[in-house]
Amino acid sequence: MNCVTVAALVLLSGFAANADSVDPIQKVLQMIGDLQGKIIGEGNDAQKVYDECSEFCEDRSRSVGFEIKTGTQQVKDLTAAIAKEDATAASLNAKIEELSAAIATDEADLKAATEIRAKENGAFVAEEKELVEVIGTLERAVGIIEKEMAKGGASMMQMQSAGNVVQSLAVMLQATSLSTADASKLTALLQSSQDSEDDSMGAPAAAVIESKSGGIVQTIQDLHDKGEAQLEEARKAETQSLHAFQGLAQGLEDAIKYASQDLAKAKKNLGASAEAKATAEGDLAVTSKDLAEDQKALSTLHQDCMSGAEDFEAETKSRGEELTALATAKKVIVEATSGAAAQSYSFVQTGISSSADLAKFEAVRFVRDLAMKQNSPVLAQLATKMAAAGVFDKVKGLISNMIEKLLSEAQADATEKAFCDKEMAETEAKQSDKEAAIAKLSTAIDSMSAKSAQLKEQVAVLQKELAEVAKAQAEMDKLRAEEKAAFDKNSAEMKKGINGVQMALKVLNDYYAKDAAHASAGGAGSGIIGLLEVCESDFSKGLAEMTAAEDTAANEYDTTSKENAINKATKEQDAKYKTKEHKGLDKETAEATGDRSGVQEELDAVNQYYSGIKERCIAKAETYAERVKRRTAEIAGLKEALQILEGEAVLLQRASKRSLRH
């Protein structure tokens, strides 16, 4: 007889005994079972507390982990932004150097081209002047020869003059870049004509002169045409050179102009890059500090949660060891007292009419114990139904139906678990992305808002300073007008006084110079003249000092007014640019705020869905693993109960018969 059979017999005998009979063994077993139930209940309560702590640790760890992830990403972004601004600054510095070098090169090229052009133009002017003079001379020579030919003859002196003209032309042509062949030809013709005249010792015939003169005229005409062609070619070359220079100069001036614009823009961008870098470095310091605090908090949380888990594990192990000890004691009691129990409590007392009833009773007891062990109300309800069922097959049907129900629930639970895992992971990923986007937009909005506020404060300061400059200038204008009016009035009076004194001196000097008698009368007139001269000197000195003071005040007024004008223009331009910049930042902030509102709406929708998923998948008394473990144990126990119903009844019947015989 195995331990299950003995336990069933003991349990059956306990149910069959009358109220007056007491089975101490059963009482001990009952007390052990009660203690086991209490320990199991404490374990379930501890499990619930541990689950709550685990969920808190998980949620807190996820929250801090997200903050660390966000902070890490922000540190990377800010570091990348600083590196980008460094690269931008390096690129802009290189560009500034390149543009400065290009501007210097273009300016040097323009200067060199201008100098070369000036030299070319000077050479052309000289060449043009020379060619114009030569052509004029040739035209006059042709006129002279044609005039001589019209006379019908020429004297030796006239031919000699013509020869001198041709020789002079040849010399002038050789001084230019024209060919000298024509000049030599002209000289040869004239020389031949002269030799013929010498040989005949008389005047040459009219036909000879006409023939020779015609050749000379043609030669001079050819030289004239070539001179004009060379002049035209020189002027054409000058025009081409001028156009080429103008194109080159225009290109260089445009290059210098645009390079200067790019240089100013690059310097402005360099300043903006430095400002952006400083802002990013400040944000990086704050973010790094927050990140270090989050990492420290996560480490502390991990240690606390690990400590709690270790305590729970130790308590669970202690309860397991206690349950093992109780189960061992219970087993020893059952095995050691099985024979005595069988002899002391016969089956006649049980009132069980068949082995089927015995198997049913054992199955009911087994299911009830299983319900107590698993803390399952469903199994307890099944045990009640099994006890109430009167037919053996009906009991088996109840157990089979329950097994099928548990298997179906297990399948549905597994499907639900897969759905929950998928939806939770996807939703958490979306939630993380949206929160990161909001954090990034919030950082950008805060940065732009702070910068805009700073610019607005600067604009307000500039406007206040402009008002002060305007007020000071107005006061200066008023004071200057008063000073000028006072000077005009005082100087006019002073000049009038000087003129009056001078007129008086002139009258007295003229009078005393004419009337010697009065001039020597006691020197009273001289005294008056002396005093008037002193007055004139004082008035002149006062006028000079007054004029010097006026000039100094006017110069100071002009200088200060110019400084105020420059200061006003600078501040107005600065205020204009800063106003434009903070308006642009306000616009970008509004756009970023709108983007953040859109992302926040998406995040709210994700959070709402996430709350539903958590309520569906997490907010339960036990985890999926615990449900699987419990359901597996329930199914195994129910299958064992079926085995009891199908096989243990025979063993119990045989054991019952042997006990009755004894």
**CA–CA separation, 169 and 184 (whole Å):** 10
Contact 90, 453 (CB under 8 A): no
Q: What average pLDDT does this structure show over 172-190?
A: 47
- The first and second tokens of residue 49, run together, are 């507390």
Indicate the range of 157-161, 293-297, 442-446 predicted with least confidence: 157-161
3-state secondary structure 138-157: HHHHHHHHHHHHHCCCCCHH
pLDDT at 341 over 50: no
- DSSP per position, 245-257: HHHHHHHHHHHHH
pLDDT for 595 equals 92
Residue with tokens 């499990």: 47
pLDDT for 51 equals 84
pLDDT at 481 over 90: yes
What is the pLDDT confidence band of residue 660, given thresholds at 50, 70 and 90?
A: very low
**CA–CA separation, 321 and 233 (whole Å):** 122
What is the pLDDT confidence band of residue 133, given thresholds at 50, 70 and 90?
A: confident
Indicate the range of 176-185, 217-226, 369-378 predicted with least confidence: 176-185
Please name the residues in contact with 459: beta carbons below 8 A apart, sequence gap of 6 or more: 575, 578, 579, 582
What is the pLDDT confidence band of residue 477, given thresholds at 50, 70 and 90?
A: very high
What is the pLDDT confidence band of residue 321, given thresholds at 50, 70 and 90?
A: confident
Please name the residues in contact with 398: beta carbons below 8 A apart, sequence gap of 6 or more: 382, 385, 386, 389
Give 554 or 415, the one with higher predicted confidence.
554
pLDDT at 355 over 70: no
Indicate the range of 171-185, 221-235, 364-378, 410-424 predicted with least confidence: 171-185
**CA–CA separation, 24 and 295 (whole Å):** 62
Residue ranges of domains in the chain, CATH in brackets: 114-282 (1.20.120), 442-616 (1.10.287)
What is the pLDDT confidence band of residue 407, given thresholds at 50, 70 and 90?
A: low
pLDDT at 339 over 80: no
Q: Is 134 exposed, middle or buried (0-12, 13-18, 19+ CB in 10 A)?
A: buried
pLDDT at 395 over 80: no
What is the pLDDT confidence band of residue 349, given thresholds at 50, 70 and 90?
A: very low
pLDDT for 453 equals 92
pLDDT for 535 equals 83
- DSSP per position, 524-543: HHHHHHHHHHHHHHHHHHHH
What is the pLDDT confidence band of residue 649, given thresholds at 50, 70 and 90?
A: very low
Please name the residues in contact with 346: beta carbons below 8 A apart, sequence gap of 6 or more: 659, 660
Average pLDDT for the chain:
75
217 alpha-carbon distance from chain centroid? 87
pLDDT for 210 equals 46
pLDDT at 24 over 70: no
> Tell me: the pLDDT tens digits for 96-131?
988 899 899 989 998 998 999 899 899 999 988 988
The CB-based long-range contact list for 390-399 (8 Å cut-off, 24+ gap) reads 392/356, 392/359, 392/360, 392/645, 395/360, 395/363, 395/364, 395/645, 396/642, 396/645, 396/646, 399/363, 399/367, 399/638, 399/641, 399/642, 399/645
pLDDT for 312 equals 81
What is the pLDDT confidence band of residue 591, given thresholds at 50, 70 and 90?
A: very high
- pTM here is 0.33
**CA–CA separation, 165 and 153 (whole Å):** 18
Sign of CA dihedral 399, 400, 402, 406: positive
Contact 132, 224 (CB under 8 A): no
Give 39 or 116, the one with higher predicted confidence.
116
> Tell me: the pLDDT tens digits for 425-439?
888 888 888 889 999
> Tell me: the pLDDT tens digits for 536-577?
888 889 889 989 999 999 999 999 999 999 988 888 988 898
- DSSP per position, 172-231: HHHHSSS-SHHHHHHHHHHHHHHHHHHHHTSPPPHHHHHHHHHHHHHHHHHHHHHHHHHH
> Tell me: the pLDDT tens digits for 190-245?
454 445 445 544 444 444 444 444 567 787 788 888 888 988 998 998 899 888 88
CA atoms within 13 A on the CB side of 88: 18
pLDDT at 350 over 50: no
> Tell me: the pLDDT tens digits for 254-276?
889 888 998 899 888 988 989 88
pLDDT for 14 equals 42
Q: What average pLDDT does this structure show over 81-108?
A: 89
Instruction: Return the top range by mean pLDDT from 19-28, 295-304, 367-376, 398-407.
Output: 295-304
Q: What average pLDDT does this structure show over 67-91?
A: 88
- The first and second tokens of residue 232, run together, are 């035209």
Q: In this structure, how many other beta carbons lie within 10 angstroms of the beta carbon of residue 189?
A: 21
